Structures are given as structure tokens and as C-alpha cells.
Amino acid sequence: MIRYALQCDQAHAFEGWFGSSADYDRQAGEGLIECPFCASRAVSKQIMAPAVAGTRRRGAPDPPASAQAMMMDAMAKVREHVERSFDYVGDRFAQEARDIHEGRSEARGIYGEAKPHEVKALVEDGVPVAPLPAAAAPKPKATLN
């Protein structure tokens, strides 16, 4: 996995994790990367210091080997909780979120899909929304000898 520091054209800074630099290039080329704050798809990589093996000072503690696995597990649990406990509203998410916020619909947790411009409008209007962590990729099957 590669972690990139990203920034949108509205100067919102955030991070993105990609399987490879080619994955980033492909997703960026297809307009699949968007700012989690304003949903802008005008996103660019920022300058980062590389993590090069062997450059750690002596005596510096090793980072936890399972930090990435812990984060992925936590995100999967968040997604699982939302899918189990919230109402799925599909592509009606933006309208239903607005209706709940404005008191026209029952207050409850919902999830679904929304277009970037819909998310941007919700955020600009003060409707609390957040992206749902991506579903975990299926684990590769073990090969048999």
C-alpha cells in the first residue's frame, strides 16, 4: 500500500491509500478520487518525504507492525455497523439526508449513494454527512499444493 498526501482545488488536505502508484494514476485519470470534505475531483498529490528503509535513527522505536491491519479492521467494523444498524436508501441518500436534517423525515441513521455535487451541496448547507469506508477487498483464496 502507498499513502499519498492529497489536496483538492479548494485547499482541503487529506490522505489516500493506494495499492500502487499505478492504481493512483488510474483512479485519478478516471476521476474516481474526490475530496472527502467538498467532493471536488480536482485532486493532486502533495510533496511527501519518502519512508526509506534503513534511515531510522538507532534507538527509535519500531512502529507497530499491525497498525495498517488494525486500521483496516476498524474501518471494516464501522462499515459493518452502519450496514447492520442504518437504513439503506440507495441513490435517494442526498434527498433523504436533507429531509431528515430539515425535519421532514424521521430522524435516523441512513446510508446510500450520492453524486459528488450532491454531497458538496449537503456539506455547504450544513447537513452532516461522512463517507462510508470502502468495503474490504475479498481475501485471496489459499492455493493448494
Residue 84: the pLDDT is 92
CA distance 119 to 113: 10
Q: Does the pLDDT of residue 145 top 60, yes or no?
A: no
Q: What is the CA radius of gyration of the chain?
A: 19
**pLDDT score of 109:** 92
Which pLDDT belongs to residue 54? Answer: 55
Bridge partners of residue 16, in order along the sequence: 4
Confidence (pLDDT) at 68: 76
Whether residue 102 is predicted with pLDDT greater than 90 in this model: the reply is yes
pLDDT attached to residue 3: 83
Q: What is the pLDDT of residue 104?
A: 95
Tally of CB atoms within 10 A around 129: 19
Neighbours of 127 (CB within 10 A): 16
pLDDT digits (tens, 9 = 90+) for 4-57: 889 999 989 888 888 888 888 889 888 899 999 888 999 998 876 655 555 555
Q: Tell me the mean pLDDT in the region 114-134.
A: 88
All residues at 6 or more sequence positions from 39 whose CB lies less than 8 Å from its CB, including other chains? 116, 117, 119, 120, 123
50-97 residue pLDDT tens = 555 555 556 656 556 577 778 888 888 888 999 999 999 999 999 999
Question: What are the DSSP E strand ranges found in 10-77?
Answer: 13-18, 43-45
